Amino acid sequence: MNSNPLLSEFKTVHQTPPFQLIEEEHYIPAFTEAIKEAKEDVDKIISNSEAPTFENTILAMEYAGENLSRIANIFFNINSANTNDNIQNIASEVSPMLTAHSNDIWLNEALFAKVKAVFDAKEENNYNQEQLKLIEDTYKGFVKRGALLTGEEKERYREITTELSKLTLTFGQNVLAETNAYELHITDEKELAGLPDAIIAAAAADAKAKEKEGWVITLQFPSYVPFMKYADNRALRKELYMAYSMRANKGNDHDNNDVVKQIVNLRLEKAQLFGFKSHAAYVLEDRMAQTPEKVNAFLEELLDKSLPFAKEEVKEVETYANAHGLKGKLQRWDFAYYSEKLKNEKFSITDEMTKPYFQLEKVEEGIFGLANTLFGLTFKANADITPYHEEAKAYEVFDAQGKFISVLYLDFFPRESKRGGAWMTNYREQFVQDGTDVRPFVSLVCNFSRPTEDTPSLLTYQEVRTFLHEFGHGLHGMLSKCTYVSQSGTNVYRDFVELPSQILENWGTEKEWLKQVGKHYQTGETIPDDLVAKIMESANFQSGYQSVRQLSFGMDDMAWHSLENAFEGDVNTFEDEAMAPTELFPAVEGTCFSTAFSHIFAGGYAAGYYGYKWAEVLDADAFSVFKENGIFDQATADSFRKNILEKGGTQHPMDLYVAFRGQEPTNDALLIREGLVK
């Protein structure tokens, strides 16, 4: 079995995964053996005849199955960033195995009895804050996963969790398959009218890669978004919009309607096993927001502030469109197109004006430089660290004293083997074991515009913001300074995890930083002051619309997960009703957002999508401290690092926030920043 690299010691730089040695056939045997090892670890805890203590029970639980965690981190990250049919089949096979193993732990009465004994005696011992939190988290973890259920309830819980593990995988696989299945193949150059040269070149490169003549537009964001924004051909914009918005809603083999029903009903049944009215109530007990009522009040308050602005903005675009040739109502496939023209007319700015100044490599340098200025970090490429894909890059990260902090993988471009969007993840999380500070391996995965034969990768301004966002998550992982892995880095409440990512986006709105990062890819010229001014002036363009759009996603999520009775209705109709308060356009038959809403049906954001807006309140309020003291102020950065980034989930997030800010946040800074105050 030692010939399997996943089961051997990683004799690599920093013990990074030896991706060059790992073959697909290694995964099933590795999972099988690692699950066996993990069971043995747990059995040792149960069979220990000594009285339960923090060390022999709670800490032993924390370290049980280390090898299994290592293998799972590698495999499921690969399944997201570089998958194929074989990998997906393996995922479908191992997910129920992992769920069964997890249930064997959480539902083990003898093990829970030991955990409960330590929990009940926690006040009698002089535990430090991290130890106390770990005891409480471990006990609550057992309770929330069925330890107090009766025999029949426990068996039903096993069945539900096993089925959910399969269904969420299926949902994501269906969305990826639907995204990859469509392409708009253009052979008549006239149909490219309105598209910038760089987008045309990228479409030609996509066609060439697929061995086709002409140009290919796909549903990947770097292809889809610019086409919707610039293409003069309204019929093709509609075709592309429909293809994107009907994903997994077409009654074919990749349809997700029944999958959505099954997921929400199983989640509801699981929550009700624990005595909660809804899945949202079950989830939100361990969030800053605490209850569905508080989340809904939060969303409704922001909608009340945003909707009047959004309606005015949409009306302004429709008036502009009608004055420039559009007959009748503004449709969804028209909005981005006419908005871009209106924005250019109002602010004399387009993505094509800014992109030459945002060469990917220069933006990367600028973000590394920001991390150096704020936190003293330096980044050194290391070719001896093999990444999981030839397009990914690996860096060693060091602090101001030259101490190794983390490995950072960067993976920028879309491919059919990668799911859409952008995310941060870990191949290893930070923790301390036997006095050794084990440092993390962080990965940032994006879908940015590819370079062409003539130009390097040039980012839109929004892609620059996305890079900053994911890098903020990365800092949360890299700068972690916790003892226990389950509390380190981004292991925090879901409605707090977006604070480090969203606060970093703020530097993308600051002239000082934009002047540092914005260098013309051909001339090296610094981005001109007037262009920076236009970026900043246009920052709140359609901020009401953007706010309502985000709130609509949160409301859809909360509607699905606030159900108190099994759902037997029509997914499309339910979604229409849930999102009706946010609706700004005529309904379009056949389109459905929920069937491709991977965040909540394939990711970890169920009853948690509101967290993006929640964290916007936090980040706007927190960044106001930087604005007061200077956006590169060392003392403020040190405080944010020590009170937020290093602390992970070792304390309640509001306590961490108040330690940095000195007070709890209010909505005021966000509303002012977004221009949503009249």
Q: What is the pLDDT of residues 203-242, one digit of tens each?
A: 999 999 999 999 999 999 999 999 999 999 999 999 999 9
Residue 203 CA to residue 215 CA, distance in Å, equals: 5
Query: Where, residue-wise, is CATH 1.10.1370.10 in the chain?
Result: 257-349+543-609
| Cβ proximity of 503 and 619 under 8 Å | yes
DSSP letter for 440, please: P
Q: Please tell me which residue in 470, 505, 575, 674 is annotated as part of the active site.
A: 470
Element (DSSP H or E) covering residue 643? none
Residue 133 CA to residue 651 CA, distance in Å, equals: 7
Length of the chain: 678
470 is an active site residue: yes
How far apart, in Å, are the Cα atoms of 549 and each of 518, 552, 554, 579, 643? 29, 5, 9, 10, 32
Query: Where, residue-wise, is CATH 1.20.1050.40 in the chain?
Result: 5-106+108-148
Q: Average pLDDT for residues 136-141, to the nearest whole number?
A: 97
pLDDT in tens, 17-65: 999 999 999 999 999 999 999 999 999 999 999 999 999 999 999 999 9
674: Cβ contacts below 8 Å, ≥ 6 apart: 540, 543, 544, 547
| Cβ proximity of 92 and 169 under 8 Å | yes
- Sheet with 393-398: strands ordered across: 378-381, 393-398, 404-411, 441-445, 423-428
Percentage of residues in the chain having pLDDT higher than 70: 100
Residue indicated by tokens 């309606």: 311
SS3 411: strand
| Cβ proximity of 181 and 276 under 8 Å | no
User: Which amino acid does the sequence have at 48?
Assistant: N
Six-digit token string for 303: 């909608």
Q: Average pLDDT for residues 149-166, to the nearest whole number?
A: 96
DSSP letter for 457, please: -
| Cβ proximity of 579 and 555 under 8 Å | yes
CA atoms within 13 A on the CB side of 475: 31
Q: Please give the CATH superfamily to which domain 257-349+543-609 belongs.
A: Neurolysin, domain 3 (1.10.1370.10)
Q: Which residues pair with 379 in a beta bridge?
A: 397
Q: Please give the CATH superfamily to which domain 5-106+108-148 belongs.
A: Endopeptidase. Chain P; domain 1 (1.20.1050.40)
Residue 363 CA to residue 41 CA, distance in Å, equals: 46
pLDDT at 677: 84
Residue 466 CA to residue 158 CA, distance in Å, equals: 38
Q: Which among 18, 3, 4 is positioned nearest to 427, based on CA atoms?
A: 18
Residue 465 CA to residue 463 CA, distance in Å, equals: 5
Q: Average pLDDT for residues 568-578, to the nearest whole number?
A: 97
| Cβ proximity of 396 and 379 under 8 Å | yes
Q: What is the CA radius of gyration of the chain?
A: 25
Sign of the Cα pseudo-torsion (613, 514, 344, 668, in order): positive
| Cβ proximity of 356 and 503 under 8 Å | no
The full DSSP string for 564-599 is -S---S-HHHHHHHHHGGG--S---TT--SGGG-HH
Residue 135 has pLDDT above 90, yes or no: yes
| Cβ proximity of 168 and 601 under 8 Å | yes
Six-digit token string for 629: 């003291």
| Cβ proximity of 511 and 627 under 8 Å | no
pLDDT in tens, 160-202: 999 999 999 999 999 999 999 999 999 999 999 999 999 999 9
Residue indicated by tokens 């708009």: 184
Burial class (CB in 10 A: 0-12, 13-18, 19+), 143: middle
**pLDDT band for position 2 (50/70/90)?**
low
pLDDT at 199: 94
Long-range contacts, stretch 449-455, CB < 8 angstroms, 24+ apart: 449/198, 449/202, 449/222, 450/202, 450/205, 450/222, 450/413, 450/414, 451/360, 452/198, 452/201, 452/202, 452/204, 452/205, 453/201, 453/205, 454/201, 455/198, 455/201, 455/521
Q: Average pLDDT for residues 433-454, to the nearest whole number?
A: 95
pLDDT in tens, 326-350: 998 999 999 999 999 999 999 999 9
Q: Which among 267, 284, 264, 641 is positioned nearest to 495, based on CA atoms?
A: 284
Chain center to CA of 372 = 24
| Cβ proximity of 397 and 378 under 8 Å | yes
Residue 82 CA to residue 142 CA, distance in Å, equals: 33
Strand 431-433 with 393-398, pairing = unpaired
Six-digit token string for 389: 């894909």
Residue 117 CA to residue 149 CA, distance in Å, equals: 18
Q: Average pLDDT for residues 493-500, to the nearest whole number?
A: 95
For the chain, the average pLDDT equals 96
How far apart, in Å, are the Cα atoms of 428 and each of 102, 407, 409? 20, 9, 12
Query: Where, residue-wise, is CATH 1.10.1370.40 in the chain?
Result: 356-537+612-673
Given the candidates 3.30.540.10, 2.60.120.10, 1.10.1370.40, 3.30.70.20, the CATH classification of the domain at 356-537+612-673 is 1.10.1370.40
Residue 80 CA to residue 469 CA, distance in Å, equals: 19
Residue 162 CA to residue 609 CA, distance in Å, equals: 24
Listed in order, strand segments (DSSP E) in 47-94 are none
Residue 570 has pLDDT above 90, yes or no: yes
Six-digit token string for 398: 């060091």
pLDDT at 1: 44
pLDDT in tens, 510-555: 999 999 999 999 999 999 999 999 999 999 999 999 999 999 999 9
Q: Which residues pair with 444 in a beta bridge?
A: 410, 424
pLDDT in tens, 590-640: 999 999 999 999 999 999 999 999 999 999 999 999 999 999 999 999 999
User: Which amino acid does the sequence have at 293?
Assistant: E
Element (DSSP H or E) covering residue 236? helix 234-245
